[in-house]
Structure 1
Amino acid sequence: MTTVSLIAYCIALAIAVAIPGPGIMALLGTALGRGFKPAFAMLVGITFGDLTWLTLAILGLAAVSELYADAFLVAKFIGAAYLLYLAYRFWMSSDAPKKTEVVNKRGIFALTLNGYIICLSNPKPILFYLALAPVLLDMSAITVSDYFVILGCTAAILLLVAVPYLLLAAGAREWLSSTRVYKWMNRSAAVIIGAAALAIGFRAH
């Protein structure tokens, strides 16, 4: 792996992450509706999902993903169904926000797992890692040390690009704290998350 190819990969990934897709929409909706910490837990899961797709690409297992296409299709619909459920919860919620939402370890794990499932069901990272990344990086020439460098760069870029989105959405949630405005904000979050679910569902065919 050359430095030039790594830089090209990092730039392409940063652009791909910065362009809002179902994953970012789900994160924005969660940050807007529940705050930064729950959204960050989901982001961790999405990051692990991205690293899973990256690992599959590096190991040359794109063919395996095609072999188990039905299983991935099921995962896509599970992710879409979860997002629709989340959208429904936000739409029906009318309570004023708490300054700090307490999320226990079980809740954090659930959000992280949901983020992971969302990423596995999202066509955007699948396309990037299994189609575009092999063009930017010579997968056959990647060593173990190269793998961990790419892994670290990928995780860092995902966090650096996505966290500002979460901070902005969570900041808006704290600022708009009246019950009436919060109800509107929850419904906005529901629409955003619902759109992400539809994007995943329609692209699953």
Structure 2
Amino acid sequence: MSNPIYVALDTPDLDRAIAIAKSVKGHVGGLKLGLEFFCASGHHGVHEIQKVGLPIFLDLKLHDIPNTVAKAMQAINVLEPAIVTIHASGSRAMMEDAKAAANEHTRVVGVTLLTSLDQRDMESVGYTGTPHDQVERLAELAQEAGLDGIVCSGNEVAAAHKAWKKGFFVVPGLRPAGTAMGDQKRAVTPRQARDNGASVLVIGRPITGADNPGEAARAIEGTL
């Protein structure tokens, strides 16, 4: 992948998403559409964003019983996404069924631990061990289930890459040096994530919240 940056168009406003996508087109490798966008604009919105001409990453984080997730995957195959997320914590069976139901050209990646969660958050919902332990555990399960890769923070991607040489690693929650962390608790810079083995760098507010998203994307691209 020549440009690993996928800009996160996490907005319910389709016109704004299209405007940002057009602005950053020359400086990113793809466009990530999350749950907020999909719930507001659905298949129609995805088709409109596809007109920009960049690969689409559907970050839907599917998580349900295996049969339901498989049918949901089949329902979005018509959109031909480059990447789709599911929750690795949904079980090996769920991941296997999701991968089996996906388009052959779609990479299915398992979300390990959200970058908005830290040790205290893990403990509050009953997870044991450290964030690193949780990512390692679910990365191994995702690999066994036949997924293409995982989603993890830049803090864990080096270890995940070492254990899964051919894995595809999506790193969200990135913050360029000197920018606000917002609600991210385990963020690193785009360059650090790339050096640690990230395949895709998901960047949202540092680009979409800028006065000139295209210039912001160009500046980040220049650090890689």
Shorter-chain TM-score tier: under 0.3
Q: Greater helix share, 1 or 2?
A: 1
The TM-score, its normalising length taken from structure 1, stands at 0.23
- Name the structure with the higher strand share: 2
Q: Which of 1 and 2 has higher RCO (CA within 8 Å, sep 6+)?
A: 1
Provide TM-score, normalisation by structure 2.
Answer: 0.21
